[in-house]
Amino acid sequence: MTECVYFASYLNQPAMDAIVISEQELNQLRQETAGTANIIHFNNAGASLPPDVVVDTVVDYLKEEALAGGYETEYKYREQLADTYTAIARLINAEQDEIAIVENASTAWCMAFNGIDFIAGDEVITSEMEYVTNIIGFVNAEKNRGIKIKLIPNDENGNFSLAELENAISPKTKLIAITHIASTTGGMIPIVEIGKIANKHNILYLVDACQSAGQVPVDVKEIGCDMLSVTGRKYLRAPRGTGFLFVKKEVQDKLKPLFMDGFSAPDVKLAGFNLRNDARRFELYEKNRALTLGLGKAIEYALTIGIDRIWQRVQLLATALRAELTDIDGITVHDFGPEQCGIVTFTVSGLDAAQVKNHLAQKHINVSVGKAISTLYFMNKNNLTNVVRASVHYYNTEQEINTICDELRALLKQ
Ligand SMILES: Cc1ncc(COP(=O)(O)O)c(C=O)c1O
């Protein structure tokens, strides 16, 4: 297997103690990410460029599986595979037995939401930032389980109202389900303050941290959430097809697993079965071991840099990009709220977001199109059918920001 050489060299650098990611450190991080030499990647909210060590870990493992056998390789790497749970637990300040590894955030969220024992009349409170998977879950449960969804819209400045949340709570409120960072706008929802209210009223609290993990410090104890869903490929820089679900120990018995096999329920008799005594009851036996290792490596990589430092640089770059875009005639930025993240969204007058994306792709700049379907409440409210989404990560540079803005200015002149 590939040695994690960068850790040693990295830890010896005095810059590690510094808060700000230095230019020297940034160069090293970029050297450790092959993709940064080829393209300007502002699609980190889609899927980030993985560090080389993550790619090598996955490829080497797959090769070893092919030569030695899948079960045999798993046995050899059983400790490293277990380390992925440890890394996730460290990342979000949870316990290992509160983590289930799944293939994406949608699976994680659906496991949590659909596992709740809703009865007709139960109420779920949410915000306008919800992702499409979650909205489908709400609509489905409204139709088939008789629950009611209560939406707390942000005000015109993008502020979430904690007072309105308090007002919306009733004896029937079973769940508060909140997306921390939406897919198609840069604002953030105050999940810690919401958690305090959820806990005060003893209401289950589910957080979609799909765009947050790897970008922003995420601490489940500070948030006070019962369940949290995450994907690997976005800000964590893990391989595609990875994700995880956190379920607080005390809440695990309140959720019904949607799928079960001999791994999730190892104590089986013909008269009945017992589930595992940890969150892996929400996993099935068969999963991609190579990707699990890759996820672990990506998280270790992020933790070695430090999530605080990553967050600081992401904010710095996003603020610079927003400021420069705002200065360009013909561009409107669509990020609201007191706190904003690395997702920068905008429209270009007279051009569809797909045209802008395609133009930039020709210049080797990756952005994506944020579609209405992804964040339906928010996009409908703001009459947006789509937006250009340029999502920065710490490995992006100020020079890259200048380049994309130069290209947009040139496009507007055409
Ligand atoms: C806020 C949010 N939640 C959930 C998801 C779903 O993640 P996945 O595609 O890993 O299921 C996304 C994907 O873009 C997202 O942006």
Q: What pTM was estimated for this model as a whole? A: 0.95
Pocket test for ligand 1, best of 126, 129, 211 (most atoms within 8 A of CB): 211
Q: 105: CA distance to ligand 1 center in Å?
A: 6
Residue 111 pLDDT class (50, 70, 90 cuts): very high
Closest CA to 237 of 146, 342, 162: 342
- What is the rounded distance in angstroms from the CA atom of residue 67 to the CA atom of residue 322? 50
Identify the pLDDT of residue 4: 34
Q: 175: CA distance to ligand 1 center in Å?
A: 20
- CA–CA–CA angle 413, 183, 103 (5° rounding): 130
Check whether 8 has a pLDDT greater than 90: no
Region 382-399: mean pLDDT is 97
Pocket test for ligand 1, best of 43, 101, 128, 131 (most atoms within 8 A of CB): 131
pLDDT (tens digit, 9 = 90+) per residue, 184-220? 999 999 999 999 999 999 999 999 999 999 999 999 9
Residue 19 pLDDT class (50, 70, 90 cuts): confident
Percent of the chain at pLDDT exceeding 90: 95
Atom number of ligand 1 nearest to Cα 109:
4
Check whether 15 has a pLDDT greater than 60: no
Beta carbons of 307 and 214 less than 8 angstroms apart:
yes
Identify the pLDDT of residue 349: 97
pLDDT (tens digit, 9 = 90+) per residue, 270-289? 999 999 999 999 999 999 99
Beta carbons of 309 and 21 less than 8 angstroms apart:
yes
Check whether 11 has a pLDDT greater than 60: no
Identify the pLDDT of residue 16: 43
Residue 17 pLDDT class (50, 70, 90 cuts): very low
Region 95-104: mean pLDDT is 98
Region 344-361: mean pLDDT is 98
Ligand 1 contact via 292 beta carbon (within 6 Å): no
Identify the pLDDT of residue 2: 37
Percent of the chain at pLDDT exceeding 70: 96
